[in-house]
Structure 1
């Protein structure tokens, strides 16, 4: 196939014709349209096939725009050209354009240079070019780059756009480098990177300032292994919108940015193993919205960020296995934080030191970090309530050391699974109102609430607690208005209530744990009256470590406050009975004697029974022994009286003269010694019982 011969002179003449048209229309601002009407042929990507008559030299444009060449018919009004192939370099560096410039659907052979230029407005929609340098560009009106295709970087460093900057449907290519470089860019109105905008390479705009909106709706940014968008210190007075199909491959950086609102609804950010969104110190005046299909591979990091409205991640999916999926340490949200419904986080969620001005909602959320921490919220402050209900699931530890919840904290129906470790670690947690772990709340691993302060109820009705070989519930040193320990089944593990204090304690005999630590446990009232005293005493024996006086005193005091004196005495007797286990042999004997004689001081009437019995026994013995085993000592002594002699022998404080008058021999002597000893034991026991000595530890 032979190449047709084209007369160079003819091509030059055809080109001159296009340039003459441009010179003629510049005075009126009428566009020169060189397109054929064939969309495929008119695409600047096919400019190599364009006829010579569609060629315009860059020098002609430069001469017009710099005033070197005057347009036909007078003063320059506007330069408008469409569908041309521009040859040579369009170099307008430091040029002050006297009129607006519109170059639409043109193909440039060389990069365009607008560095330090100034113009009323510049529009390059649909143009294809090797690159664009517009550093320090100044425009009074808009800079329109809609549909621009650049095979090299577009640079706008320090540019000041008096109107809007539009890059709708633009395609910027700078693989491994910058696609758009715009440090300290200022746009008085809005910046549009939407409607099919794509960038291969980094969008780099730290310190930029946008007076209206910054829109990336539907945009695609790709710089795998690098930064897709860099906006350190970026300021957007109104909304920054990255939604409805916005996708990135590479890191999105917004540290220290100041935004009116920020939306990631339906966006997809991908930077596996790294930061997908890094926005430490971010300030959003109103809301940050990441709902409805917001999907992230990599870490979302907002350390120290401040959100003036609410932060919503409802229905979002954050994936960073083995790392941190969401880092909100020291974040401040003036209203609510919502991570509910189908919110999924694969990797750790961190809220250390965060402050939420409204509600924190995790209803239905699924946090997954097996063998590690699923939720880290040490020193978290929530001014209102925290809700983890409706199927909330955490595979890994939920840790909330010294967290504070201003109203109700609900874990109703939640599941926390960390077998062999701590399921919920909330040492020194403060909940101003109720803490609900009821309605099917399930914990595989220890529930650690030691030192917690609960302003209302600690409610465990219908819960399932499992920590085999460990502590199923640790409430040591905790405080609550009421503790409702009513699990669905017997806790598998120890329940530790050491030094806890509650106003009301309600439990169920059917679900008592095998071991419950009760030392120092204080409660004002027992709410379950169906548990009788004997069962309560069996409950006390589940405390390990042997005899502890306090747990009996506490139970007796609770019965006494309820007006159940008989029950209180039963507990007090059981306390002394159990005490014998810690005594030595002599102590055990004394304990038995005191129990039998005066019921440890709580049944002093037993002494009268023993006294009557011993009197009857002594009277019978000494009646039988007189006179052959009883000899008169004093001839002037009264006659023998068996009852009087028994009283003299039995009661050390009684002197009827019988024992002095009659000397016992043989068996009668041994009986007198035995009754004297019994009398001393009875007297001592009665005195101890009446003075309360036996009731002391």
Structure 2
């Protein structure tokens, strides 16, 4: 094709600029809106077939590097580059596309669609040697980028993705391989965004982004692999966030996030491996939080953000920050509606021991025994209440001393007012009400008083009560101390 083959003046201008890599800017003003491009005239209208012919033919000039650089054009028809190999960089910024570009299976050096308005994009299995820029793009139909391989970064800052219906995700990056960062702060997606099985060697930045799919999954990123951090500060979601099976080497940063999926799971990060999880400073999560079977090195969790349903079965973590009293952390274990799982209590106990808070660790262990008590038979629960009331399951040893002192005082006063008679007159030692009471209370200690004196009347019943109470107290102390000493 040449200029004599029916090119319009606008197309001829592009044809001349391409071999030298020069930019062609059709804009009348820097701030004009490409969404109004369907009203642009012939002076800035370019046929997609002409651009395809230009890229495929790729005319060259000696000593120059060819590139297609167009700004502010209306592109009519379908830009069909399926399976094409294009060596020239492509920049079609602030353009208005009438048709959906077809880039399926193409191999490109670089692609820049920044600021453009498109009815969709079909680019599955696309390969790009450099970066792909969709900064500020507005796309009114599905963006199909499944299986793309981008050696550099993918930029989608302030991009807007919508679709006429919910038949498919508005942005598909499933199985994508990105060699650097996925950069999309302030992105807006009205419809599902799919990142299942994607791999990002660098960071993902979706700070201040919005994902809107009420009643469904707003962000589906199952089995996602990220080599560095996921920065998702202040994101707003209406719909579920799915991260099941993902591996994030650095932080999953959800500071000041607003996650909402009423009646469903707002954040599912189960079976994940994450360096750090930050859930801090944001609104209370609306919907369930699921972290089952995940391994997280550091969890920065603010209790106020946690929802009514928190699923932590087999969650493993090393540290829990910021440091909070155990009373504020325990509700997250009690909000799991499933059956009693001791593992969660052991993990929380280990987190408190990790920072040297032994009192907090004991409090968690006491709560664990109380939760376990609810699963026992009636007689097991009765025995549990006795252990709890007497020595706090061994985690409140001072209670045993208080009980012992109280019962010793009661017995000493009672038997001091009315000495029991000797069993054998003339052979009994001098009566001591304190040591007589201790003889009754302490089953493995003998001061020679119990066997030498025999109370009568209600004092005899008091002695029986002290003996039984002593055995119960001793048994609960032994059980509690054994549990405390044998804890991991």
TM range (shorter): 0.7 to 0.9
Distance in structure 2 (CA, Å) of the matches to 1:297 and 1:383: 24
Write the deviation string for residues 502-530 of structure 1: whole angstroms up to 9, x where unpaired.
xxx2226xxxxxxxxxxxxxxxxx45698
- Structure 1 residues 186 and 481: CA distance shift in structure 2, 3 A: closer
The 5-angstrom pairing of residues 671-682 of structure 1 reads: none
How many angstroms does 1:121 deviate by? 0.9
Distance 1:184 1:473, change over 3 A: same
1:425 and 2:371 correspond: yes
| Counterpart residue number, 2:47 | 57
Aligned to 1:138: 127
Q: d(CA) in 2 for partners of 1:319 and 1:372?
A: 10
| Aligned with residue 534 of structure 1, among 383, 387, 412 | 412
Structure 1 residue 110, shift from structure 2 partner: 0.4
Asked if 1:312 corresponds to 2:286, the answer is no
Per the alignment, do residues 235 and 376 of structure 1 end up closer, same or farther by CA in structure 2, a change over 3 Å counting?
Answer: same
Which of 325, 336, 342 is 2:319 aligned to? 336
* Number of residue pairs aligned between Structure 1 and Structure 2: 432
Aligned to 2:429: none
- Aligned equivalents of 2:414, 2:238: Cα separation in 1: 64
Higher deviation after alignment, 49-58 or 374-383 = 374-383
Q: Any residues of structure 2 matched to 1:606-617 within 5 Å, and which?
A: none
Contact 1:146–1:169 under 8 Å retained in 2: yes
Partner in structure 1 of residue 419 of structure 2 = none
CA deviation profile, 1:142-189 (whole Å, cap 9, x unmatched): 011111111101011111000001111100112423111122100011
Does structure 1 residue 212 correspond to structure 2 residue 202?
Answer: yes
Do the aligned partners of 1:121 and 1:141 also contact (CA within 8 Å) in 2? yes
Structure 1 counterpart of 2:460, from 574, 578, 601: 578
Aligned to 2:20: 28
Pair 228,481 (structure 1): closer, same or farther in 2 beyond 3 Å: closer
373 and 536 in structure 1: CA distance in 2 versus 1, 3 angstrom threshold? farther
Which residue in 2 is equivalent to 1:628? Answer: none
Q: Distance in 1 between matches of 2:216 and 2:174?
A: 18
- Structure that is richer in helix per residue: 2
The structure that has the greater radius of gyration is 1
Corresponding residue SS for 1:531:
helix
Structure 1 residues 575 and 107: CA distance shift in structure 2, 3 A: farther
Q: Any residues of structure 2 matched to 1:480-629 within 5 Å, and which?
A: 480=394, 483-485=397-399, 505-507=400-402, 526=404, 531=409, 533-535=411-413, 555-556=438-439, 573=455, 578=460
Q: Secondary structure at the match of 2:271?
A: coil
1:382 matched residue in structure 2: 347
Shift of the 373–211 alpha-carbon distance from structure 1 to 2, 3 Å rule, reads closer
Q: Matched residue of 1:295: which SS?
A: coil
Residue aligned with 1:425, SS: helix
Matches of 1:290 and 1:200 in 2, distance apart?
A: 24
Q: Which moved more, 1:475-484 or 1:247-256?
A: 475-484
Q: Which has the higher contact order (CA 8 A, sep 6+)?
A: 2
Residues 659-697 of structure 1 deviation map (CA, whole Å, 9 limit, x = unaligned): xxxxxxxxxxxxxxxxxxxxxxxxxxxxxxxxxxxxxxx
* Aligned equivalents of 1:557, 1:531: Cα separation in 2: 13
Equivalent of residue 296 in structure 1, options 273, 277, 285:
285
CA distance in 2, matches of 1:201, 1:558: 72
Pick from 243, 249, 259 the counterpart of residue 269 of structure 1: 259
Offset at residue 23 of structure 1 (A): 1.6
Q: Describe how 1:164-243 pairs up with structure 2 within 5 A.
A: 164-174=153-163, 175-176=165-166, 177-194=168-185, 196-243=186-233
Whole-angstrom CA distance in 1 between matches of 2:133 and 2:301: 34
Q: Sort the Cα spacing of 1:37 and 1:579 in 2 relative to 1 into closer, same or farther, 3 A.
A: closer
Equivalent in 94, 99, 108 of residue 88 of structure 2? 99
C-alpha distance in 1, partners of 2:220/2:337?
30
- Once the two structures are TM-superposed, the CA of residue 86 in structure 1 deviates from its matched residue by 0.5
| Structure in which a larger fraction of residues adopt strand | 1
Conserved? CA contact 1:216–1:242, under 8 Å: yes
Q: What per-residue deviation string (whole Å, max 9, x for no partner) do you get for residues 394-423 of structure 1? A: xxxxxxxxxxx99444688xxx9xxxxx99
Q: Tell me: CA distance 1:186–1:294, structure 2 relative to 1, closer, same or farther (3 Å).
A: farther
TM-score w.r.t. the length of structure 1 is 0.55
Q: Any conservation in 1 of the 2:87–2:109 contact (CA below 8 Å)?
A: yes
How far 1:227 sits from its partner (Å)? 1.0
What is the distance in 1 between the residues matched to 2:258 and 2:462?
A: 72
Change (3 A) 1:125 1:557: same
Structure 1 residue 269: deviation in Å? 1.1
CA distance in 1, matches of 2:223, 2:395: 49
CA pair 230-368 structure 1, distance change in 2 beyond 3 A: closer
Supply the distance in 2 between the matched residues of 1:124 and 1:386 (Cα, whole angstroms). 48
Secondary structure in 2 matching 1:178: coil
Give the deviation of 1:102 after TM superposition: 0.5
Shift of 1:317: 2.1
Match of 2:99 in 1: 110
- CA distance in 1: counterparts of 2:12 and 2:187, whole angstroms: 35
Residues 86-133 of structure 1 deviation map (CA, whole Å, 9 limit, x = unaligned):
111111110101111001000000001111001111110011010001
Tell me by how many angstroms 1:477 deviates: 10
* Deviation of the 1:231 alpha carbon: 1.2
| RMSD of aligned Cα (Å) | 4.3
